[in-house]
């Protein structure tokens, strides 16, 4: 199967998980295409000033792979910065939030898998 970028389903969420601004989800694959082993495989775009609020993952894990920009992340209560080429892993029972404090769009690949 091949999917061109023009075929990705795009979803825009305002104030995601209590965050600020809008988050753009470019769904690279749909859940049924990876055997319903998770609920998200997408490219996420946060415009400057946008964020996804703190939330906990239960019975699932989330992986972020950063492509562009600088991410301000709170990983289980610990603030840190993440840069292109770096990864954040949030296991079941753990929490995180993410914010774009930069001047350019923050872009990353996100995958949520069931545990």
Handedness of CA 68, 69, 75, 78 (dihedral sign): positive
Instruction: Give the pLDDT score at 46.
Output: 98
Instruction: Give the pLDDT score at 9.
Output: 97
**Predicted TM-score (pTM) of this structure:** 0.95
Q: How far apart are CA 41 and CA 78, in angstroms?
A: 25
Residues of the chain under the 50 pLDDT cut: none
Q: How far apart are CA 115 and CA 107, in angstroms?
A: 25
Instruction: Give the pLDDT score at 76.
Output: 96
Instruction: Give the pLDDT score at 60.
Output: 98
Instruction: Give the pLDDT score at 98.
Output: 98
Instruction: Give the pLDDT score at 54.
Output: 98
Instruction: Give the pLDDT score at 64.
Output: 98
């Amino acid at each position: 199967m091949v999917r061109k970028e023009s075929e990705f389903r795009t979803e825009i969420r305002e104030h995601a998980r209590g965050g600020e601004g809008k988050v753009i989800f470019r769904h690279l694959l749909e859940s049924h295409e990876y055997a319903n082993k998770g609920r998200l495989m997408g490219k996420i775009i946060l415009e400057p000033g946008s964020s996804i609020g703190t939330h906990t993952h239960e019975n699932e894990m989330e992986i972020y792979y950063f492509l562009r920009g600088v991410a301000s992340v709170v990983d289980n209560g610990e603030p840190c910065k993440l840069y292109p080429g770096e990864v954040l892993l949030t296991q079941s029972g753990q929490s995180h939030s993410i914010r774009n404090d930069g001047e350019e769009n923050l872009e990353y690949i996100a995958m949520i898998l069931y545990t």
